[in-house]
Amino acid sequence: MNLDAMKQANGPEACKTPRIRLLAVLAILGVATALLVWRAVDIQVLRREFLQEQGDARHLRVVAMPAHRGMITDRNGEPLAISTPVDSVWANPRELLAARAQWPRLTRLLHLDATTLQRHLAKRVDREFIYLKRAVSPELARQVVALAVPGVSLQREYRRYYPAGEVAAHVLGFTNVDDRGQEGIELAYEEWLRGVPGSKRVIKDNLKRIVENVEGVTEPVPGKDLALSIDRRLQYLAYRELKATIQGSGAKAGSVVMLDVGTGEILAMANYPSFNSNNRVKLRGEAYRNRAVTDVFEPGSTIKPFTIAAALEVGKYRPHTMIDTTPGFYKVGRHVVRDIHNYGVLDVSTVLQKSSNIGATKMALAMEPQQLWSIFSRVGLGSSTHSGFPGEMAGLLSSYKSWREIDRATLAYGYGVSVTPLQLAQAYRVLADNGQMKPVSFVRTDATPVGEQVMSPEVAAQVRAMMEAVVNEGGTGTAADVLGYRVGGKTGTVHKSEMGGYAENRYLALFAGVAPISHPRLVTVVMIDEPAGGEYYGGQIAAPVFGRVMAGALRLLDIAPDDVQSLRTQLVEGTAGAPPTIVNPAPAPPSPRLEPAKPYIKHVSAGGL
């Protein structure tokens, strides 16, 4: 049979079937191809962006890189606040929820409550990141990694550490858990200290391991270091003496401020009560106020050197001009100004040495109100020092135009004006620096700032000489004495003001002074709030703190003694076999007991005798 015969044999029917089948196959292939092409176009072209995003969202991550916060050091580079790297434990809520079986070990390790955690995670399933525990110890971090709970990872962060703890807590302030400044220098210099966090985009695999750094890496910019004016050694010294005296006298609180005379830098600023900046859980508002700049008080007799400076400046008085303070009280209008003793006739110098309110009153009433106001305001009393410290108070000095006669009198011995300890120190610095006013500073200044002459050098020197007499025999401040150095200052004992009057038996004990007198280098102010142990006079409570702090500081700073005579006497007296070494003197002997004063208020409010 030939081919034709075969065709014939199958007939026209047999020929049709394969053709349809072929067409059908071709059609199916064609449609399938079209679908594939369409799908390819859809995925590659039309939905490309969306799909890319979805993919990235699953594996591409932007990882923040926290910046290192600048270190705060003391003036000699000793660290006061350091950011140390720590790990925080975080979780992907969805993944952790799915790993319930592994929770018991995790919650036990991190001291978490499973029910709370469940609720916490459930509320945040849409997030990628939640913290479980921040700033954990390296040991705990290791244990967390070892557990390998799905969805739980560590993140590198920084945490502030304050090596000086409670000693410098108020000045430094602190940062929050995000390492942002909240108080004190940490807050004031936030911009300077804080760095700029960086970020990088990375691809992570399903196990959250970084497989590739992709793009856009911005390096974190670390914050800048800051050198404070504080000298850590002097800060320790001031804090130690302040704390001992407050605890020993049952006082409520207190502050010590020490300034460098040449530069206006704050060398020490201590407050008590204090707090541990590394562990603030039990923190009370009471404890974290930097009272030396945020609290104002009436300076009482510590203002008298300025009253006397005004009197000398005006020219009606000289250091030896005589003033009659008999019989120990003096009527001003309906009011009476009192001294605690009848001191009789005194010269100006002795008015300061004995702290006669009547002497100060008579000098003030002999000048124009504006003249007294002017000197107070020139040395900065009652106005902010503009130190830049958060929460600094300005205090108050009212306008002389509103002063009545009694106001002029009480202002002369420190009532009716209010100041901060820092302000008082700044004012005393003017006396120490031959009448130059300079700004105070919390940061180290490498150049000596130029001052403004606000008082004549002669007047400043005369007042300094009178302040030395306060510390010498016969003065109210002998406990401020420092062996080997000539020091000068002024005591103050102030009835605390309360609700329009003065508290009968609540006092501030004050001492402000300078050393060495022959070439002043340091100014220190001591304020003790409400001594409760029976003794409460500035001369008994504040002056000894001043003496001990100054003694230590003068030696630590290697300042040459200017009272070699007293050193010799001490050596001769102390040569009973002992080698002639000079040691820090024991705490100054208690000053002669003062007889308890009569309650003051009765006389003031009695409306005159």
Binding residues for ligand 59J (CB under 6 A): 300-301, 340, 355, 357, 410, 415, 476, 491-495, 502, 537-539, 594, 597, 600, 604
CB of 300 to ligand 59J, least distance (A): 4
Please say which residue, 535 or 562, places its beta carbon nearer to ligand 59J. Answer: 535
* 266 strand-pairing partners: 259
Please say which residue, 194 or 495, places its beta carbon nearer to ligand 59J. Answer: 495
**94 neighbors 73 (Cβ within 8 angstroms):** no
Please say which residue, 171 or 360, places its beta carbon nearer to ligand 59J. Answer: 360
CB of 413 to ligand 59J, least distance (A): 6
SS3 282: coil
Exposure letters 32-44 (e unless 16+ CB within 10 A, then b): eeeeeeeeeeeee
Catalytic residue, from 88, 229, 277, 301: name it: 301
CB of 303 to ligand 59J, least distance (A): 9
How many helical (H) and strand (E) elements, i.e. helices and strands, does the chain have? 22, 21
| CA dist 312 → 110, 315, 459, 593 (Å) | 70, 5, 7, 32
CB of 492 to ligand 59J, least distance (A): 4
Residues 6+ apart with CB under 8 A from 299: 381, 414, 417, 418, 419, 424, 492, 494, 510
- Cis peptide leading into residue 516 (ω within 30°): yes
CB of 358 to ligand 59J, least distance (A): 10
Task: Give the position of tokens 């399933």.
Answer: 125
* 434 strand-pairing partners: none
Please say which residue, 167 or 494, places its beta carbon nearer to ligand 59J. Answer: 494
Please say which residue, 287 or 425, places its beta carbon nearer to ligand 59J. Answer: 425
Please say which residue, 277 or 476, places its beta carbon nearer to ligand 59J. Answer: 476
Phi-psi region of 334 (alpha: psi -120 to 50; beta: other; left: phi over 0): alpha
CB of 491 to ligand 59J, least distance (A): 3
CB of 465 to ligand 59J, least distance (A): 19
Residue 384 burial (C-beta neighbours within 10 Å; 0-12, 13-18, 19+): middle
Helix (H) or strand (E) holding 347: strand 345-347
Sign, CA torsion 511/498/374/358:
negative
**258 neighbors 267 (Cβ within 8 angstroms):** yes
**531 neighbors 509 (Cβ within 8 angstroms):** yes
Our answer to whether residue 566 is catalytic in this structure is no
Please say which residue, 275 or 330, places its beta carbon nearer to ligand 59J. Answer: 330
Nearest CA among 487, 531, 488 for reference residue 510? 531
Active site members: 301
